[in-house]
Amino acid sequence: MAAEVNRRDFLNTLGVSVGAALTSAGAALPVVGVAHAQDKPKGNIPDTPFKIGHMTFFTGPAAVLGEPMFKGQQLAAEEINAAGGLLGKRKIELLKADENAGTDANVKELRRLKLSEKIDFFCGITSSGNTPALGPVAEELKLLTIFVDGCTDFLFDKAVPNPHYIFRITNMQSADGVTGAVAAAMTWPKTKKIAHIHPDYSYGRNAFDHFGIVMKKMLPSAENVSEGWPKLGTTDFSSHITKAISSKPDLLAISVWGGDYVAFYKQALRYGMFDKMKVASMIAFGVAPHAIGKDHPEGIIAGVHSNYHFTYPGGDRWPYNKTFVEKYHKRFNEYPNFQAEGGYTATYMLKNAIEKANRLAGGWPDDDAIISMLEGNMMAAPAGYVYIRPDNHQGYKDAVTGFSKNVADYPFPILDPERIITIPIRNITAPPGWPKGEPTSTYTWIDKTWPRAKA
Amino acid sequence: MSTLAVAVESRSPVRRLVWAMPVAAALLVYPWVASQYQAMLLAYGLVMAIAALGFNLLLGYTGLLSFGHSAFFGVGAYTVALMVKYLNVGSMELFLVGAVVGSAVVAGIFGFVCVRYTRIFFGILTLALSQVLWSLAFKFFWVTGGTDGLRVPTPMLVGFSGGKTDKIEFLAHAYYYYVLVIFFACVASMWVIVSSPFGKALQAIRDNETRAEFVGIQVRRYRWVAFLVSGVFTGVAGALWVPLNGLITPENLHWTFSGKIVFMTVLGGFSAFAGPIIGAVLYNYLEAYAVGNTVYWQFVLGTVLVVLVLSLPTGVVGTADRLIARWGGRS
């Protein structure tokens, strides 16, 4: 049985910091988007284009969240091409595919991209329903892949437990529910009654499970009083809103995302929902920032899929973020979301691995050489340091969330710069060597190893 | 509709064989001349052709428009996936047997309820029942995997394991031929069924239910058997489809998937025997290339459907037949 600790010590052990400075950066890590002096590539490099297939939501309510992923990659590709291409020679050519076509059409399309279009690299994917479908197909096709999102733990826990060709850059899904719950427990420790609204598919259940297990540890006396499971793509939330309100909760936990969330908050405003309870969302501000209006309530925990919000790290504190946001805004006249950062970083992660492999062996490196360089790679990205764990090919970076706030500088709400919450990722995800668990490895790891706060 | 159907079906079997033999030969050599991707894509088309062929026994021959054939396709596919998950079966032949049994049971029960009605009531009932299965697959995620679906590994074909070879190679060759053999068998048996007295009775029911009853056809029973056979064909297609796709999700049980089967059949033409076959193969290419080439693929598919209904109500095959007949008559 895990020991009992008081809540303040608990938060200290998790390393949670609010509005805190970053740990000092000293190491000479590879970085994104910076044209630093680079060794001349070794050996003969072909000048054939490097084809990247990019699949994300270009249509449907998920597009406000997914499409910026393509823009992020596009920006990186344009920068790299302007400098001559990969290893100075191979220009990146991007091929678009719409994820909204449905899982089986996506499987066919991925095969078409590899076998017919002969893409060298596959990238993208938003929905966590799609990576377990496409991951094994990419492995069968021997197609080098970095998924940007589609972050279900299930992919590397079970669907592809020993990945070779596939990687994923943004944080694992369980980090989302955990981050939301830690932030809520820390901010509103007197919470007794919790209502839940989650999309009725694997992502929503994952958020529900991990929010629940953290609450069990941090606020053991809190109980769930209501559950609502709207179908993904729902635009009418009134029944779920009235049900949650009638259960008189102190806190609403919600992981509805994309266009669905925009519809939700506008309807919830009409019911005065945000005045009746505190709200902790896993992914409210995951959408492209301009998709949320100034009418959005302030002071709710507005999650960014535990990954990235363009205002953090702000100012001059993390130059790569400053320049990324400036470049992105200049190029697309909008601000990036976590998917845009993911698409951008994935492209530079690949570039970096290709350059490392070239320095070792010369010439254009084969996929296996690139894969060995991606494994264990760490680089500084706009969001902070991102590390690819070699055993499961999953990207890890410190989790971020915060509180919605309207400021004069932007025509939409942002995360309150004074109250950003960050948590070191190693403290909230199952470490290497931890056995695969049900429903996820992180769930069993939290359940078995975290202490319980005194009620 | 019925006059056209008569015109097509009155052609001699010899003339049909003249058409069928070169097509069969082309299908046989296809994987050797086309790329792996093209062979795989055609395999998808052939599988859907079996589903549409089964569907058309109800629409084209019995005059019943089902909006619930996703149910049988999904049952066929989920039977395979559950056999893998719970019984550790790996043989494709056992999968097919399982899918036939599974889809027969479901089609038998659904048919019992549905054939009491015709027209819109029949359509709505089939849709509603298929949605029940969809919601079960969606909600019982600890059994069905929910929206993540269930994976199906490379199966063994007639006792030989395909697991060691390259998966793409396997799908483009060995599995293509496996699908082709079943496809031929399904086409032949459907041909026998629609040409048999039973098939003629179904067409009589389609054309005039009251008269059919007066000549002694037990209308409801015949409809039920047609429903059952139709469901089993579609179930077989579901079983063949899973290893190709590698995964089954509730999407394939949703009524929009039934809509795709309807679309395929309308595209090819439901009044000709070959209509659903051609329609399914064409639709498969249409969808793959629309999705591959534009993010406005929904717009492309929608436009095709509208144009089809407005200007080619007899589908591609019906229109081609009419053109050939006109051209033949002139010369």
DSSP symbols for A384-441: EEEEE-TTT-BEE--EEE-BEE--TTSSS-EE-GGG-EEE-GGGTSPPTTPPP-SS-H
Residue A31 included in any domain: no
Residue A195 included in any domain: yes
Residue A43 included in any domain: no
Average pLDDT for B232-245: 94
Of A305 and A40, which is predicted with more confidence? A305
Residue A30 included in any domain: no
Question: What pairs with residue A52 in β-bridges?
Answer: A94, A121
Average pLDDT for A416-425: 91
Residue B97 included in any domain: yes
Residue A322 included in any domain: yes
Residue B114 included in any domain: yes
- Which residues in chain B are closer than 8 Å to A200, comparing Cβ atoms? 138
Q: Can you tell me the ipTM of this complex?
A: 0.83
Query: Would you say A119 and A143 are in contact if contact means Cβ atoms under 8 Å apart?
Result: yes
A97 touches chain B (CB under 8 A): yes
Q: Prior bond to B313 cis, omega within 30?
A: no
Q: Are residues A70 and A202 in the same domain?
A: no
Q: Are residues A98 and A135 in the same domain?
A: yes
Of B9 and B134, which is predicted with more confidence? B134
Q: Are residues A62 and A165 in the same domain?
A: yes
Chain B nearest C-alpha distance from A195 (Å): 20
- Distance between CA A296 and CA A273 in Å, rounded? 12
Q: How many angstroms separate the Cα of B145 from the Cα of each of A36, A125, A230, B85, B154?
A: 47, 20, 18, 11, 19
Task: Look at residue A226 and give its three-state secondary structure.
Answer: strand
Residue B86 included in any domain: yes
CB interface of B with A, residues 66-105, below 8 Å:
none
Mean pLDDT computed over every residue of chain A: 90
Q: Are residues A216 and A239 in the same domain?
A: yes
**pLDDT higher than 80, residue B1:** no
Least CB–CB distance from B291: residue in A98, A132, A140: A98
Task: Look at residue A381 and give its three-state secondary structure.
Answer: strand
Which tokens in the block code for residue A123? 């990238």
Residue B233 included in any domain: yes
Residue B123 included in any domain: yes
Q: Are residues A425 and A295 in the same domain?
A: yes
- Distance between CA A371 and CA A360 in Å, rounded? 13
Chain B nearest C-alpha distance from A115 (Å): 6
Cβ <8 Å between B37 and A111: yes
Domain end point (choices A392, A415, A441) = A392
**pLDDT higher than 90, residue A431:** yes
B249 touches chain A (CB under 8 A): yes
**pLDDT higher than 50, residue A154:** yes
DSSP string over B261-303: HHHHHHHH-TTSTTHHHHHHHHHHHHHHHHHHH-TTHHHHHHH
Average pLDDT for A82-92: 92
- Distance between CA A33 and CA A119 in Å, rounded? 23
Domain extent for B126 = 2-249
**pLDDT higher than 90, residue B78:** yes
Residue B330 included in any domain: no
Confidence of residue A26 (pLDDT cuts 50, 70, 90): very low
Cβ <8 Å between B37 and A112: yes
Average pLDDT for B146-152: 83
Q: Which residue of B has its CA nearest to A140?
A: B167
Residue A24 included in any domain: no
Domain end point (choices A392, A414, A439) = A392
Q: How many domains in chain B?
A: 1
Q: How many angstroms separate the Cα of B315 from the Cα of each of A114, B254, B262?
A: 33, 25, 12
Task: Look at residue B156 and give its three-state secondary structure.
Answer: strand
Confidence of residue B163 (pLDDT cuts 50, 70, 90): low
- Distance between CA A239 and CA A250 in Å, rounded? 19
pLDDT at B7: 43
How much is the pTM?
A: 0.87
Instruction: Decide the pairing of beta strands A421-423 and A17-18.
Output: antiparallel
Q: Are residues A125 and A227 in the same domain?
A: no
Share above pLDDT 70 across residues of chain A, in percent, rounded to a whole number: 95
Cβ <8 Å between A202 and B141: yes
What Rg value do the Cα atoms of chain B yield, rounded?
19
Q: How many domains in chain A?
A: 2
- Distance between CA A307 and CA A168 in Å, rounded? 13
DSSP string over A331-376: HHSS---HHHHHHHHHHHHHHHHHHHHHHHH-SSPPHHHHHHHHTT
Q: Which residue of B has its CA nearest to A141?
A: B168
Distance separating the N- and C-terminal Cα atoms of chain B: 26
Residue A45 included in any domain: no
Residue B94 included in any domain: yes
Q: What is the CATH number of the domain that holds A166?
A: 3.40.50.2300
B200 touches chain A (CB under 8 A): no
Cβ <8 Å between A140 and B251: no
- Tell me the one-letter amino acid at A11: L
Confidence of residue A19 (pLDDT cuts 50, 70, 90): low
Q: Are residues A181 and A108 in the same domain?
A: no
Cβ <8 Å between B295 and A200: no
Domain extent for A416 = 4-19+174-306+399-453
Q: Are residues A352 and A446 in the same domain?
A: no
pLDDT at B325: 81
- Distance between CA A61 and CA A86 in Å, rounded? 34
Q: Are residues A154 and A238 in the same domain?
A: no
Q: Are residues A293 and A408 in the same domain?
A: yes
Q: Which residue of A has its CA nearest to B153?
A: A136
The pLDDT tens digits for A206-252 are: 999 999 999 999 999 999 999 999 988 888 999 999 999 999 999 99
Residue B331 included in any domain: no
Q: Are residues A420 and A283 in the same domain?
A: yes
The pLDDT tens digits for A97-135 are: 999 888 888 999 999 999 999 999 999 999 888 998 899
**pLDDT higher than 90, residue A66:** no
**pLDDT higher than 80, residue A354:** yes
Q: Are residues A266 and A374 in the same domain?
A: no
